[in-house]
Amino acid sequence: QQQVKQSPQSLIVQKGGISIINCAYENTAFDYFPWYQQFPGKGPALLIAIRPDVSEKKEGRFTISFNKSAKQFSLHIMDSQPGDSATYFCAASNKAAGNKLTFGGGTRVLVKP
Amino acid sequence: DSGVTQTPKHLITATGQRVTLRCSPRSGDLSVYWYQQSLDQGLQFLIQYYNGEERAKGNILERFSAQQFPDLHSELNLSSLELGDSALYFCASSVGAGSGTDTQYFGPGTRLTVL
């Protein structure tokens, strides 16, 4: 059972453009939603995270939008740069079940110069 | 550099064999998590240890086992290896047992190839 669905699988955006990645979850007990960035040959690294009591969180060029009623959240990368080319994973966890992360399938983002 | 170290970086072995993957968490972190990343299954949680005790279990096969030692390093043991076990295995660590917002820091991974 895939509890977190992520789309699109891949994305090509021009330098300076906006990258948008969407995730939907099924388990309403999830209460923490981080996004991870992974470069080839590296482990995932936390990019930004949100709790469901907040509808939006912005850190620099990265923004999470959260819609609790629709059970959806998204990552927006503004002014995309070639250095942002990586695979992005959304994830979710439930405090009551410990800290284990349930990941989406990943989105490979390519930013063209 | 996340501060989480994993050895070895690469491991090539044959079907039916047993291997041990090692992880050292960040200084001060008490929780260690193991994840498997494969092309068909994506990133999947295997198991979590907190201060030496098993804390949570995910989709970990019975052929796999793990432990966390008193110095907090962890080992993931994979036995009776099958071709399908070929994957990247990541270790992550966090400060606490799971407050729900504990950031997990991932190591560089061990790439296991089963021939």
Task: Say whether A43 and B56 touch across the interface (CB within 8 A).
Answer: no
Which pair of tokens denotes residue A45? 């690294």
A97 to chain B, any CB pair closer than 8 A? The answer is yes
Place of tokens 């090539």: B12
CB distance from A73 to chain B under 8 Å? no
Residues ≥6 apart with Cβ < 8 Å to A80: A13, A14, A15, A16, A17, A18, A19, A61, A109, A111
* Residue B100: per-residue pLDDT: 60
Q: What is the 3-state secondary structure (H, E, C) of chain B?
A: CCCCEEECCEEEECCCCCEEEEEECCCCCCEEEEEEEECCCEEEEEEEEECCEEEEECCCCCCEEEEECCCCCEEEEECCCCHHHCEEEEEEEECCCCCCCCCCEECCCEEEEEC
- Mean pLDDT to the nearest integer, A51-56: 91
Q: Tell me what pLDDT residue A52 has.
A: 87
Summarised one tens digit per residue, pLDDT across range A64-85 is: 999 999 999 999 999 999 999 9
Share of chain B above pLDDT 70, in %: 97
CA distance to partner chain A, nearest, from residue B14 (Å): 23
Q: What is the pLDDT of residue A36?
A: 97
DSSP track, A48-109? EEE-TT-SEEEETTEEEEEETTTTEEEEEESS--GGG-EEEEEEEB-GGGTT--EE---EEE
Does the CB of A54 have a partner CB in chain B at under 8 Å?
no
- Tens digit of pLDDT for each residue in B41-65? 889 999 999 999 999 999 899 999 9
Tell me what the mean pLDDT of segment B101-111 comes to.
Answer: 91
Task: For residues A17-41, give the mean pLDDT.
Answer: 94
Strand pairing report for A10-14 and A107-112: parallel
Statement: residue A1 has pLDDT above 60:
no
Q: In terms of residues, how long is chain B? A: 115
